[in-house]
Amino acid sequence: MDPIDLLEKRIAALELEVLPLSKEVGPDKSQLISNLLIQTHSMTTTALSCREVITSILRRMEVINDYLNPNYTDTQLDVQDKKQYILELYPEMKKSMQLVVDFERLRAFLDSSSINNIPSLVDKLEKLTISSVNTYEECKEVTNKILYALQQYNDITMSIKILFAQLEESITNIEISLQPRSRID
């Protein structure tokens, strides 16, 4: 069988599946125009929604091919511009290098057993934290009691000072009244 004949038969079979031979549209089996318009609209929007994605991919294909090209260079900079760019980045690169050196220096501490035991010490740390919070609350309570006692002490000493002042005034008045009065001639 010729490949062209085979292809024609397949196309005819597809046409029969898509477009049946008998036309079922008649006066009693007619569809509403609004239903046909809605169906046409939904098919059109479905086709166009896929088309936008494909169109955007095809538009970007050239850029993607450029990026995949190993000889691709985005922009050609002058040697002077490259030098200026490197000089501008130098302080940042120096800081980054210092951070890398510091990290390498601290790596020995990070690999130490005390750092590796942190997960096992979490419970102990939690207990100590709770104990510390409880001790803080107790200290706060004791401090408040001491402040209250000092306030009472200040009140007592103030009242004693007032009493002594009143007592001194009374004694002075008594001494004045007991002194013999000299007669005025």
| 17 has pLDDT over 80 | no
Bigger pLDDT: 1 or 82?
82
Computed over every residue of the chain, the mean pLDDT equals 81
The structure's pTM equals: 0.33
Question: What is the rounded distance in angstroms from the CA atom of residue 84 to the CA atom of residue 32?
Answer: 73
Look up residue 174 and give its amino acid: I
pLDDT of residue 20: 61
Which residue matches tokens 């994605």? 53
Structural contact between residues 25 and 31, judged by C-beta atoms closer than 8 angstroms: yes
pLDDT of residue 129: 93
pLDDT of residue 157: 96
Tokens of 105: 């220096």
Which residue matches tokens 């024609």? 8
**pLDDT tens for each residue of 52-69:** 666 777 777 777 777 777
Confidence bin at 72 (pLDDT 50/70/90) = low
Q: Taking residues 120-146, what's their average pLDDT? A: 93
**pLDDT tens for each residue of 92-112:** 989 999 999 998 888 878 777
In sequence order, what DSSP letters do the residues of 94-112 get, joined into one string?
Answer: HHHHHHHHHHHHHHHHHTS
Phi, psi of 24 (to 5 degrees): -90, 0
Q: Which of 6-20, 104-118, 134-148, 150-164 has the lowest mean pLDDT?
A: 6-20
Structural contact between residues 100 and 106, judged by C-beta atoms closer than 8 angstroms: no
Q: Taking residues 154-179, what's their average pLDDT? A: 94
| 23 has pLDDT over 60 | no
pLDDT of residue 138: 97
Domain extents in the chain: 40-74
Confidence bin at 85 (pLDDT 50/70/90) = confident
Question: What is the rounded distance in angstroms from the CA atom of residue 75 to the CA atom of residue 163?
Answer: 96
